[in-house]
A and B are shown apart, each in its own frame.
Chain A
Amino acid sequence: MTAILEVRKLSAGYGPLRVLHEIDLAVAPGERVGLVGLNGHGKTTLLRSVMGLVDWRRGELELDGKSILRTPAHRLARAGVVLMPQGDALFPGLSVRDNLDSGAFAAGWRERKQRRDRVLQLFPRLADRLGQSAGTLSGGERRMCSLGRGLMTNARVFLIDEPSLGLAPGIAAGLFSTLRELDLEGGTLILAEQNRTLLEGWIDRIVRIHHGQVAGIERGSPGPDGGPAEGEGPETER
């Protein structure tokens, strides 16, 4: 198996603070990886390091075998890696339609419409809100808009950071059922999520991050009988 994304001995941090310590991770095409672990231990930093949004990083980072350590975030975005960050990073003054379209802003208008229709099928709530400005959306709708925008980019590597954060359980569950149905088309998905139960049953591999290092890897099971392996206790925190 040739990995789409390969992370080797990655250390990264902000200013004088080192958050990640020599992380190794390889993600195969079609694979769904979940990152779990306590707050502040590096899940978000790992995703952001891949994207190039941290102060500094050391080690090796490769996309399809080519190093992306020197690639700035916006160029990486065009190369097919998309981050749906915590906080959504939406454009509050622009309409929902404009927010979605910005994800595909390099594509022609026909292609853009096609992608938008697909996204609206996944998130029908947004269809009613197309003309509204994104700043006036509810928390759940904002999350849908951010995910939708990410899906408009036709990326191959999806990095999603804590999509259930700040959402009521019902809405989070609804969001996840949509994510489960996502056709990666040979791409890959790395999802950081505090609430481990939301990952049960559809994630291929669960990577536990503890104090900036990989502390354990489990086979998630895409079947109904998922559960932690190797006698590890519950480590998630609400």
Chain B
Amino acid sequence: MTDVVTTINLAAVYGLIGVGISLTWAGLGFLNLAHGVTFAAALYGAWWTQENISDYPGVIFLGGVVVGALAGAIVCVSVFLPLDGRPNWDFRSIVASLGLSIIGIYTFFLVFGPQRKSIDFLFGTTKFKLGGTTITADKSGAIISANVVMILVVVALMKSRIGLGVRALTQNPEGAALVGIGRRQAAFAILMVSGALAGFAAVLLSQIFYPEPNIGYLPLLKGLIVALLGGLGSIGGAVVAALLVGGTEAVTSHYLDPGWILVTQFGLIAVVLLVRPRGVAGILEGTRA
């Protein structure tokens, strides 16, 4: 039972990060490796808010989300806009985002020092029992809010005007331009929203992932796994993939050793991709690559 709870917890959070990467990639053709440092920035932002502004959980959340969105805007301005349309731009933008990532991580080192900071419990410290296992308020709060946000994101994508614009962009960039959707404006929207989502995910995970310089590496890796496993731009695929990834992690750490988590997750990727090179989306659509 704890496994199920852990799975859903991790899945919801990895899903938030993975969806951001997936949309950025499908909508803009840009694999954003700076997403990890965005995650870290948001964590530091939340911590800084806690230290300097207010202890109130809602404000801390806001701090994380705002910094995440800002980080997304920085990525847009410094990586995407300068390179868009230039020769070899898809490779160069990935590398530039990696470079930005490195600069960011070690700047955090300099400014905040290597020790980890801590963020208080955001949902209180009460516990309760469900089906024979103890669940902390923190964990349930994280699960519920992550899922709520995930649902909101999906709804917004499917029903809202901006969501339609983003989906159109992922399907046919020329068609999108012809109906008035500007790529550069969309880039800001997509990068800032995915940054905000990463920020939200970061704060939710702040009891497991503490603010420290290199903290963004694992979330980035998990987000990449979810995005790739789910298939480019497929939200449904990302959700399923997030569950698979979260589930693998929970099961591995329970039955084997946490050190084997990445091994089993990559094993999962290998199996899925070798069977369906387009990822879960390929399976969902019943099509081959």
Contacts and interface: CB of A to CB of B under 8 A. Distances in A.
Q: Do any CB atoms of chain A lie under 8 A from CB atoms of chain B in the complex?
A: yes
A14 interface: no
Contacts of A72: 177, 182
Contacts of A103: 179
A73 B156 CA distance: 26
Interface string A65-105: 00000001111011000110100011111100010011101
B180 interface: yes
A85 B178 CA distance: 9
Interface string B168-181: 10011011111111
Contacts of A98: 164, 167-168
A19 interface: no
A94 B166 CA distance: 11
B178 A82 contact: yes
A27 to B, nearest CB: 19
A153 B172 contact: no
A120 B165 CA distance: 22
B286 to A, nearest CB: 13
Contacts of B180: 74-75, 77-78, 105-106, 153
Contacts, number: 70
A53 interface: yes
Given A98-B164, A102-B164, A91 B171 contact: yes
Contact of A77 (B161, B167, B168, B178): B178
Interface string B16-28: 0000000000000
Interface residues of B, number: 17
Interface string A94-128: 10001001110110000000000000000000000
A94 B177 contact: no
A5 interface: no
Instruction: Assign chain A's interface to a size class.
Output: 20 to 34
A77 B172 contact: no
Contacts of B171: 91-94
A77 B165 contact: no
Given A83-B178, A90-B175, A74 B167 contact: no
Interface in B150-195: 161, 164-165, 167-168, 171-172, 174-183
B178 A91 contact: no
Nearest to A88: B175
30 contacts: A51-B178, A53-B174, A72-B182, A73-B177, A74-B178, A74-B181, A75-B180, A77-B178, A77-B179, A82-B178, A83-B178, A85-B178, A90-B175, A91-B167, A91-B171, A93-B171, A98-B167, A98-B168, A102-B164, A102-B165, A102-B168, A102-B176, A103-B179, A105-B165, A105-B168, A105-B179, A105-B180, A105-B181, A106-B161, A150-B178
Interface of A: 51, 53, 72-75, 77-78, 82-83, 85, 89-94, 98, 101-103, 105-106, 149-150, 153
Interface of B: 161, 164-165, 167-168, 171-172, 174-183
8 closest cross-chain pairs (CB), A and B: A89-B175, A91-B171, A77-B180, A74-B182, A78-B180, A73-B177, A74-B177, A102-B168
